[in-house]
Chains A and B, each alone.
Chain A
Amino acid sequence: MIWQALRLSLLVVSIATLVISVAGTAFGYLLAKKKFQGKDLLDAIITLPMVLPPTVTGYYLILLLGKRGLLGKPLYALTGWTVTFTWIAAVVASTVVALPLMIKSARAAIESVDSDYEIASYILGKSEFQTFFRITLPLAGRGILAGIILSFARAFGEFGATLMLAGNIPGKTQTMPLAIYEAVVSGEDERAKWLALILTGISVLVVYLTNRLSRPKGKR
């Protein structure tokens, strides 16, 4: 039971972190560099999951993706499949909840890069795309990596939205935090202890790594 939950958690979090890293950096770049109409509104909407209780985020996700949801209904009509109560729902829930952390970190990291470097690159004939990967990303790399680790940690501990959207099905959607909850509720103290210890251990490791990465190494 313990290993099943750990394995599922790691699978869910790995995919979520991958999606968050790419989408978060892209949104971060968009918000840091571009001027467009509705920018503040977009910023507010993608920050929302950070300030809302996860259960509320989960509720909205059901409204959006559930069998009778805004997107879920046509999807179900088309394929006969629905995301709710599958492990993919757990991925969606942790992605949505942890994404704002990544966007905030990536935006701050990208904004901290002196734009003269990018201008110098453009003048040297390089496109925005080339400049992003060869100049901006390496120079913002430390902050972006810290953001990835932070959102990994957040996704790893995701409980509320996952419970709402994916349910609590052992072996199918029961991630570590859900398994701990169930163990405590059903009085399985030993199992709860070990699950909590493993989760704490991984979180400590992650925070330790974040601190190491965010410390400036030598002069830049």
Chain B
Amino acid sequence: MLEAHIKKRLGNGNGNSLTIDVTVRAADGITVLFGSSGAGKTTILRAIAGVTTPDEGRISLNGSVYFDSAAGINMPMQRRRVGYVFQNHVLFPHLTAAQNVLYGADSDSRAAARERVRELFTLMEIQNTAAHYPHELSGGEQQRVALARALATDPLLMLLDEPLSAVDVATRSRLLEEISAIQKRSRIPFLYVTHNQSEAARLGNAMLVIDEGRVLQEGAPLEVFNAPRTAPVARIVGAENVLVGKVLNHSSEDGTTVIDIDSCKVEIPYNGLPVGSQVTVGLRSEDILVSREHLTQTSARNVLPGKILSIIKDVDKAELVVDCGVDFKVSITPATVRTLNLEVGNNIYLLIKARALHVLA
């Protein structure tokens, strides 16, 4: 269990400053720090790793205190036993992939360290990269080596700073599954920084939305994406609903694929992915129609009954959160709220075109 309370004032020299003031708790599982760049996510990771010193606060992992401004404790980063995966991997350019990982594998005997490195290379399926230098490897391979190097120290906590941002889409999907599998095996907390909704939705057991150095909302990623509590959170997570489902079946004749999202069945455009595979789909909140009646003669392939959980009104729009088994964000005009006389608790229908649902990378 990681418990971090961090306060730090950052100045960037030209008058702009950012004050980080967050409390982050992370248990076994993957906790996502979500936010746009400049929100202070990387500083939080660096403070936990001991690279930067907070002005104030307390950081502890499994009861051992890493930092405590009141007690004057600041454990050097060498002794914190955290694994850190950098955005640009930061592999040592003068060492081969195997030497990079061996560098972190601190073991009593040389032979045991080598064995550990072999294990990690097998686990990450990068045996063929061992003798190569970092610049000879692909982006995906580099990031796998970086993961292996971080794991080689047997860390008590993993910190991952947008590890997949420099990796192509196809590799990203595989690496996501691998990171998730590694976490399940190691059973240590992972703190994962990203601004990619799909990564957050597929990996995160918990998520913190960070903006301007503060935690705006905490919860399961899908819950936060689909039911942002405040306007700033809605702005950061975007107007998109993010849904994670499994492919149930395809109809090439109809050109559709049916996916199951928490036992809510939704038709999306045909994609040919293997049945049972996981997909993340996005749906813009303004692409959803609201109806009081159950319409049947309509082009919308999905007509989902649901209940209004909340209505947030703005000048030019109203954001509804509707529970249809899963939560959907729906963006409509204030006029619709008035004419349909919508209120929290009302039962309504959502009309969603199959083609409005798109698979996210």
Contacts and interface: CB of A to CB of B under 8 A. Distances in A.
A220 B135 contact: yes
A122 B49 CA distance: 10
A220 B103 CA distance: 19
A194 interface: no
Interface residues of B, number: 25
Given A122-B78, A139-B93, A134 B51 contact: no
Given A125-B104, A138-B94, A116 B86 contact: yes
Interface in A128-166: 134-135, 138-139
Given A124-B103, A125-B78, A219 B51 contact: no
Contacts of B76: 122
Contact of A135 (B49, B81, B88, B92): B92
Contact of A127 (B51, B78, B82, B83): B78
Given A134-B103, A135-B92, A123 B135 contact: no
Sort chain A's interface into a size bin: 10 to 19
B154 to A, nearest CB: 10
Interface string B51-63: 1000000000000
Given A117-B92, A123-B82, A124-B104, A219 B135 contact: yes
Contacts of B92: 117, 120-121, 135, 139
* B interface SS class: loop
B142 interface: no
A127 to B, nearest CB: 6
A25 B84 CA distance: 29
B90 A117 contact: yes
A121 B94 CA distance: 13
B78 A116 contact: no
B238 to A, nearest CB: 30
B52 to A, nearest CB: 10
Nearest to A219: B135
B28 interface: no
Given A123-B78, A134-B103, 7 more contacts: A114-B90, A116-B90, A117-B90, A120-B84, A122-B76, A125-B78, A126-B103
For the complex of A and B, the 10 pairs showing the least CB-CB separation, nearest first, are A124-B104, A120-B90, A116-B90, A138-B94, A123-B84, A122-B77, A220-B93, A125-B78, A219-B135, A123-B77
Interface of B: 49-51, 76-84, 86, 88, 90, 92-94, 103-104, 106, 135, 149, 152-153
19 contacts: A120-B84, A120-B90, A122-B76, A123-B49, A123-B50, A123-B78, A123-B80, A123-B82, A123-B83, A124-B106, A124-B149, A124-B152, A125-B104, A127-B78, A135-B92, A219-B135, A220-B93, A220-B94, A220-B135
